[in-house]
Structure 1
Amino acid sequence: MLASGRVATGAQAAMFEREFAARVKARHAVAVSSGTAAIELALRAMRLPPGGIVLVPAVTFCGVAQAVLHAGLRPLLVDVDPVTAMPSPATVAAALQGHAHGRIRPAAMLVLHFGGAPSPLPELAAAAGLPLYRVVEDAAHGPGTTIHGRAVGALSRAACFSFSPTSNLPIGEGGMVTCDDGELAARVRRAGRNGMSADVRQRDGTAGSAWHFTVEDGGLKANMSDLEAAIGRAQLRRLPSWQRLREQLAAGYTLRLHDVGTLLPPSIPTGGRHAWNLYVLQVTERYGRSRDELAAALAERGISTAVHYVPLHRLGYFRHAALRPISGLPGADQLFPRLLSLPLYPGLTEHRVDRICAELHRLAR
Structure 2
Amino acid sequence: MTTRINAVPHAVPAEEAAVPFADCHISTEAQTAALRVLRSGWVTTGREVAAFESEFATSVGAECAVAVSSCTQGIELALRSLGLPPGSLVLSSTMTFCGAVQAIVHAGLQPVLVDVDPVTGMPTRSTVRNAVRSFGPPAAMTLVHWAGDVADVPGLADAAELPLDRVVVDAAHALGTYAGSTPIGSGCGATCFSFYATKNLPLGEGGMVTTDDPARAEWLRKARLHGMTADAWRRYLPGGGWRYNVAEAGLKANMTDLQAAMGRAQLAHLPSWQRRRAQIAARYDDQLAGLPGVRLPHRPDPGTGTHAWHLYPIRVQLNGGIDRDEVIACLSERAIGTSVHFIPVHRLAYFSQAALIPSMGLPGADVLFEQLLSLPIYPRLTDRQIDAVCTAIADLAHQGLTGKGTE
Deviations 1:227-260 (A, max 9, x none): 0000000000000000000000001101100120
Uncovered stretches (5+) of structure 2, i.e. residues with no partner: 1-36, 401-407
TM-score of the superposed pair, with normalisation by structure 1: 0.97
In structure 2, give the amino acid aligned to 1:15: A
Seen in structure 2, the aligned counterparts of structure 1 residues 58 and 108 have a Cα distance that, compared at 3 Å, is: same
Of the three residues 380, 383, 393, the one matched with 1:350 is 383
Instruction: For 2:300 and 2:317, locate their aligned partners in 1 and report how far apart those are by CA, in whole Å.
Output: 21
Contact 1:49 1:107 in 2 (8 A): no
Partner residue, 1:199: 231
Instruction: For 2:65 and 2:165, locate their aligned partners in 1 and report how far apart those are by CA, in whole Å.
Output: 16
* Residue 264 of structure 2 is aligned to residue 228 of structure 1: no
Partner residue, 1:42: 78
Instruction: For 1:257 and 1:353, locate their aligned partners in 2 and report how far apart those are by CA, in whole Å.
Output: 11
Partner residue, 2:111: 75
Contact 2:342 2:369 in 1 (8 A): yes
**Superposed displacement of residue 51, structure 1:** 1.0
Of the three residues 30, 51, 57, the one matched with 1:21 is 57
* Residue 218 of structure 2 is aligned to residue 186 of structure 1: yes
Partner residue, 1:117: 149
Deviations 1:257-279 (A, max 9, x none): 01203111111212210000000
Seen in structure 2, the aligned counterparts of structure 1 residues 277 and 287 have a Cα distance that, compared at 3 Å, is: farther
What root-mean-square deviation, in Å, do the aligned CA atoms of Structure 1 and Structure 2 show?
1.1
Of the three residues 310, 316, 328, the one matched with 1:277 is 310
Instruction: For 1:350 and 1:287, locate their aligned partners in 2 and report how far apart those are by CA, in whole Å.
Output: 30
| Stretches of 4+ aligned residues off by more than 4 angstroms | none
Instruction: For 1:158 and 1:13, locate their aligned partners in 2 and report how far apart those are by CA, in whole Å.
Output: 19
Number of equivalent positions = 360
**Superposed displacement of residue 125, structure 1:** 0.6
Contact 2:292 2:318 in 1 (8 A): no
* Structure 2 counterparts to residues 82-101 of structure 1, below 5 A: 82-99=118-135
Seen in structure 2, the aligned counterparts of structure 1 residues 264 and 217 have a Cα distance that, compared at 3 Å, is: same
**Superposed displacement of residue 211, structure 1:** 2.5
Deviations 1:100-157 (A, max 9, x none): xxxx110101110000001011110110001111111000001100102111001350
Instruction: For 1:139 and 1:14, locate their aligned partners in 2 and report how far apart those are by CA, in whole Å.
Output: 21
Partner residue, 1:51: 87
Seen in structure 2, the aligned counterparts of structure 1 residues 14 and 272 have a Cα distance that, compared at 3 Å, is: same
- % identical aligned pairs: 52
Instruction: For 2:282 and 2:323, locate their aligned partners in 1 and report how far apart those are by CA, in whole Å.
Output: 25
Partner residue, 2:297: 266
* Residue 393 of structure 2 is aligned to residue 360 of structure 1: yes
TM-score of the superposed pair, with normalisation by structure 2: 0.87
Partner residue, 1:338: 371
Instruction: For 1:85 and 1:202, locate their aligned partners in 2 and report how far apart those are by CA, in whole Å.
Output: 44
Partner residue, 2:101: 65
Instruction: For 1:12 and 1:160, locate their aligned partners in 2 and report how far apart those are by CA, in whole Å.
Output: 19
Partner residue, 2:341: 308
Partner residue, 1:137: 169
Contact 1:98 1:327 in 2 (8 A): no
In structure 1, give the amino acid aligned to 2:73: A
**Superposed displacement of residue 220, structure 1:** 1.1
**Superposed displacement of residue 327, structure 1:** 1.5
| SS at 2:38 equivalent | coil
Instruction: For 1:217 and 1:146, locate their aligned partners in 2 and report how far apart those are by CA, in whole Å.
Output: 36
| SS at 1:335 equivalent | helix
| SS at 2:225 equivalent | coil
Contact 1:96 1:325 in 2 (8 A): no
In structure 2, give the amino acid aligned to 1:272: G
**Superposed displacement of residue 288, structure 1:** 5.4
**Superposed displacement of residue 10, structure 1:** 0.6
**Superposed displacement of residue 48, structure 1:** 1.6
Partner residue, 2:43: 7
Of the three residues 228, 241, 251, the one matched with 2:272 is 241
In structure 2, give the amino acid aligned to 1:162: S
**Superposed displacement of residue 287, structure 1:** 5.5
**Superposed displacement of residue 44, structure 1:** 0.8
* Residue 201 of structure 2 is aligned to residue 174 of structure 1: no
Contact 2:277 2:377 in 1 (8 A): yes
Partner residue, 1:326: 359
In structure 2, give the amino acid aligned to 1:292: D
Contact 1:140 1:167 in 2 (8 A): yes
Seen in structure 2, the aligned counterparts of structure 1 residues 206 and 5 have a Cα distance that, compared at 3 Å, is: closer
**Superposed displacement of residue 289, structure 1:** 2.6
In structure 2, give the amino acid aligned to 1:114: W
Higher RCO (Cα < 8 Å, 6 or more apart): 2
Instruction: For 2:236 and 2:229, locate their aligned partners in 1 and report how far apart those are by CA, in whole Å.
Output: 14
Deviations 1:70-94 (A, max 9, x none): 1111110000000000001111011
**Superposed displacement of residue 286, structure 1:** 3.3
| SS at 1:341 equivalent | strand
Partner residue, 1:150: 182
Seen in structure 2, the aligned counterparts of structure 1 residues 222 and 239 have a Cα distance that, compared at 3 Å, is: same
